[in-house]
Amino acid sequence: MNNIRLSTVQQNIVSFDDGALLVKASAGSGKTRVLTERIKRLIKKTNRKILAVTFTNKAGEEMKERLGNLEGVGKKLFVGNFHGFCQQVLENHGKLIGLTNLPHIFEDETDRLELIAQAIENTPSYYNQYITLNAKEQRELRYKVLDFISKSKRNLLSEEDLLNRYENQELVLLYSSYQDILSSQNAIDFDDLILLSYSLFIENPKIAALYRRTYEYICVDEAQDLNYAQYQLLRSITSNEYKNVMMVGDPNQSIFAFNGSSADFMTENFVEDYQPTVIELQENYRSSKAVLQAADRIIPNTSNNFNNTVIEGIFEIHKMDNEQTEALWVSNKINELIHLKHHRDIEGEITYEKIAVLARNKYVFKELTNVFEQNIIPYFYKITPGSIKFESKLMKIFELSFRVRVNPKDSLHWIKLLNMINEKDVGSLSDLALVLEKNEILEAINVILGLKDDGSNFKSSLEKFKVSISENDKLNDDNEKKMILNDIKELLEHWHEYDKKTDKRSLLQFKTSMALGKTHPLSQKNGVTLSTVHTMKGQEYDIVFLLGMDDETFPDYRAIRSGGTEMIQERNNAYVAFTRSKRFLYVTWPQIRLMPWGDYKHRSISRFIREMS
Ligand SMILES: Nc1ncnc2c1ncn2[C@@H]1O[C@H](COP(=O)(O)OP(=O)(O)OP(=O)(O)O)[C@@H](O)[C@H]1O
């Protein structure tokens, strides 16, 4: 990797000095590569710091890994996503906006929806209508309110702005009620992290100036994914006189519009506000000719130079009778490739780890995983890093108790905990320990009560707990025991990741780091990767299967209904899927699909594929 010779255009980006820079780069053109090389150079050059914003923790970690043990990396560079950066801003200066205790993050959507239900209950005018609705309508309404709150925050609107702007004052009342509940539990959501940091910079220009002085250079990767709040946050730090901002992105890979992202912040606002030098990177270094020609038929003229590509590669489209035959075909093809071992287009031996199966949504994998299990093909789901999703009941109880331990005001999870163990009228974790009979639940609670705030006995306590569970003869459900042990192992892996990256440890900070997805072990798992396209952003595999390319699955039926931006995003999504492949790309679609409500439906080929021919 380090021996790669950069092209002249890539070199120009790496050696770019002061001023604003916009790098518009198509898929596989080496964006991440040049960004890393430029940061490497700037670290050596500057006495101050560099802020590198990535959109996924994985991208950040990869960047750190590529920078290796270069002197100064630890001290001179902040790499992370916006949420991680804001968390640090609030940790250091939150007091200035009244945050005496650092709030806890409620990262799960299901938790936030529950708070919405509480907020509705607290708002009588709304509640009276709400209870007349059926369960499905109530659920839709909770989502609608959550969406309204999230959108308002992403547009940096204060409650006062909302009151002036919206006729539907009840929605605004719900917003206030939701915020009150959050703050009574000393909690915030992800959108608040950005909103609060933005307010902090706007209300305290001296702090913004301090950040300007601290960070001599700011680099934003995947800048096509910026949303309004993130862009304004950057503006609030940089103000008008600061120009050393670099943005790198690809408008054709913009696929998060549903989160308020738009490539316009990079291609229009940034250009207008900072007047950057613009450099385009178009040569694709990743993919074979076959893959590039196919991608070019999804979105034409993105990477013009594929005629120079020497590796031929494979692109095939296969029509299947139904989902079973589709899954079987993929599984057989994988076996065939594995047995082949070598192919002149692929460097090294063909292994399961070089293969990914992508789909528009995770439901498409159902048949495939059955067939993989029967044919003993190892696989794993790639998930967006976040908190651990424990499988065993005991560790779910552990997790709820841990949340309450680090945030005693967290009544949402406290009530969930009591419901889960059928207890009521208990006020605290230590009281709970007094009323529980002697079993593994009590043991879990005692482990949590025994943890020191600075986390110094976290590892040893969890290891002891693990031994005790494995020796517990009363746990006679072998499956549950296995799940508990797996869950503890996973928790310890997260602790390990946290521990190795942190100097000043604490239980609270560990919980926050998990919520921010910073503690996910990066190690590649064994087997074929299954992933939705959104989760596969920025990754590459030698062999890619794109499963379920029937119309209304990909593009998604809702996008077809809405048209406009949503369909552009769907096409971008297909483009991202195609360009993840380095060498071989196989697209499949079933002519009959089992629908979620239980009947079979005839399908036609995805319009994106049909239009290619
Ligand atoms: N000058 C070069 N010569 C050879 N290979 C290169 C060169 N630049 C980049 N590459 C390789 O091309 C591939 C794509 O690079 P990288 O991941 O940086 O691209 P990207 O633009 O970030 O991709 P995407 O946006 O599609 O995720 C990598 O395998 C990288 O090592």
pLDDT digits 0-9 by tens, 455-501:
999 999 999 999 999 988 887 777 888 999 999 999 999 999 999 88
Q: Are 383 and 490 in contact (CB under 8 A)?
A: no
Rounded Cα distance between 608 and 333, Å, is 23
Closest C-alpha among 394, 392, 401, 390 to residue 439: 394
The half-sphere exposure of 519 on its side-chain side, counting CA atoms within 13 A, is: 23
Mean pLDDT within 213-218: 94
Structure tokens at 242: 């600061």
**Is it the case that residue 306 has pLDDT exceeding 70?**
no
Give residue 303's pLDDT. 59
Across 73-77, 79-83, 423-427, least confident range: 73-77
Give residue 522's pLDDT. 67
Rounded Cα distance between 593 and 364, Å, is 10
Distance 286 CA to ligand 1 centre (A): 6
Rounded Cα distance between 225 and 53, Å, is 11
Atom 6 (ligand 1): residue with closest C-alpha?
285
Q: Are 58 and 538 in contact (CB under 8 A)?
A: yes
**Is it the case that residue 421 has pLDDT exceeding 90?**
yes
For residues 55 and 363, the model is more confident at 363
**Is it the case that residue 241 has pLDDT exceeding 90?**
no
Q: Of ligand 1's atoms, which has the minimum distance to the CA of residue 6?
A: 1
Mean pLDDT within 539-554: 96
Q: Of ligand 1's atoms, which has the minimum distance to the CA of residue 35?
A: 18
Sequence ranges of the binding site for ATP:
25-32
Q: Are 285 and 61 in contact (CB under 8 A)?
A: no
Mean pLDDT within 317-331: 97
- pLDDT, tens only, 438-464: 889 999 999 999 999 999 999 999 999
pTM recorded for the entire structure: 0.88
Q: With cut-offs at 50, 70 and 90, classify the pLDDT of residue 213.
A: very high
Taking each helix axis as running N to C, give the angle between helix 109-121 and helix 411-420, from 0 to 180 degrees, rounded to the nearest 10.
Answer: 100
Across 377-391, 423-437, 495-509, least confident range: 377-391
Rounded Cα distance between 287 and 544, Å, is 11
Distance 101 CA to ligand 1 centre (A): 43
Mean predicted lDDT score pLDDT of the chain: 91
Give residue 258's pLDDT. 82
Atom 14 (ligand 1): residue with closest C-alpha?
28
The DSSP-derived string for 6-69 is: PPHHHHHHHT--SS-EEEEE-TTSSHHHHHHHHHHHHHHH-SSEEEEE-SSHHHHHHHHHHHTT
Q: Of ligand 1's atoms, which has the minimum distance to the CA of residue 576?
A: 26
Distance 283 CA to ligand 1 centre (A): 9
The CA radius of gyration of the chain, in Å to the nearest whole number, is 26
For CA atoms 386, 118, 178, 161, give the dihedral sign. positive
Give residue 242's pLDDT. 86
Atom 18 (ligand 1): residue with closest C-alpha?
30
**Is it the case that residue 56 has pLDDT exceeding 80?**
no
Q: Give all strands (DSSP E) within 154-272, no chain letters.
A: 187-188, 215-220, 245-249
User: Which of 32, 37, 55, 542 should be mutated for ligand 1, with most atoms under 8 A from CB?
Assistant: 32
Mean pLDDT within 537-545: 93
Rounded Cα distance between 554 and 552, Å, is 6
Mean pLDDT within 241-263: 90
**Torsion from C-alpha of 134, 136, 139, 144, nearest 10 degrees:** -100
Atom 27 (ligand 1): residue with closest C-alpha?
538
Rounded Cα distance between 310 and 345, Å, is 10
316 three-state secondary structure: strand
Give residue 1's pLDDT. 46
User: Which of 1, 5, 33, 302 should be mutated for ligand 1, with most atoms under 8 A from CB?
Assistant: 33
Atom 8 (ligand 1): residue with closest C-alpha?
30
**Bridge partner list, 277:** 21
Q: What percent of the chain has pLDDT over 90?
A: 70
- DSSP structural state of residue 261: B
Strands 104-105 and 187-188: parallel
Q: Are 345 and 288 in contact (CB under 8 A)?
A: yes
**Is it the case that residue 587 has pLDDT exceeding 90?**
yes
**Is it the case that residue 537 has pLDDT exceeding 90?**
no
Structure tokens at 185: 């539990």
Buried-exposed string 479-513: b where 16+ CB fall within 10 A, e elsewhere:
ebbebbbebbebbbebbebbeeeeeebebbbbbbb
Sequence ranges of the binding site:
25-32
Strands 600-602 and 581-594: antiparallel
Give residue 166's pLDDT. 74
- pLDDT, tens only, 115-162: 999 999 998 888 998 999 999 999 999 999 999 999 999 999 988 888
Distance 34 CA to ligand 1 centre (A): 9
- pLDDT, tens only, 181-212: 999 999 999 999 999 999 999 999 999 999 99
Distance 250 CA to ligand 1 centre (A): 13
Q: With cut-offs at 50, 70 and 90, classify the pLDDT of residue 248.
A: very high
Q: With cut-offs at 50, 70 and 90, classify the pLDDT of residue 518.
A: confident
Give residue 257's pLDDT. 84
Pocket around ligand 1: residues whose beta carbon is below 6 Å from it? 1, 4-7, 10, 25, 27-33, 250, 253, 285-286, 538, 540, 579
ipTM over 0.85: yes
Atom 29 (ligand 1): residue with closest C-alpha?
286
Q: Of ligand 1's atoms, which has the minimum distance to the CA of residue 281?
A: 21
Rounded Cα distance between 255 and 242, Å, is 29
| Single-letter code of the amino acid located at 603 | R
Atom 31 (ligand 1): residue with closest C-alpha?
1
- pLDDT, tens only, 590-604: 999 998 778 899 999
**Is it the case that residue 405 has pLDDT exceeding 80?**
yes
C-alpha distances in Å from residue 470, one per residue of 467, 478, 489: 5, 10, 12
The DSSP-derived string for 187-217 is: EE-HHHHHHHHHHHHHH-HHHHHHHHHHEEE
- DSSP structural state of residue 340: H
User: Which of 12, 29, 66 should be mutated for ligand 1, with most atoms under 8 A from CB?
Assistant: 29
Atom 16 (ligand 1): residue with closest C-alpha?
30
Q: Give all strands (DSSP E) within 330-455, no chain letters.
A: 355-359, 379-381
**Bridge partner list, 581:** 541
* 569-572: long-range contacts, CB 8 A cutoff, minimum separation 24: 569/254, 569/255, 569/257, 569/258, 570/608, 571/298, 571/299, 571/608, 572/252, 572/253, 572/254, 572/255, 572/299
User: Which of 2, 54, 285 should be mutated for ligand 1, with most atoms under 8 A from CB?
Assistant: 285
129 three-state secondary structure: helix
Atom 5 (ligand 1): residue with closest C-alpha?
285
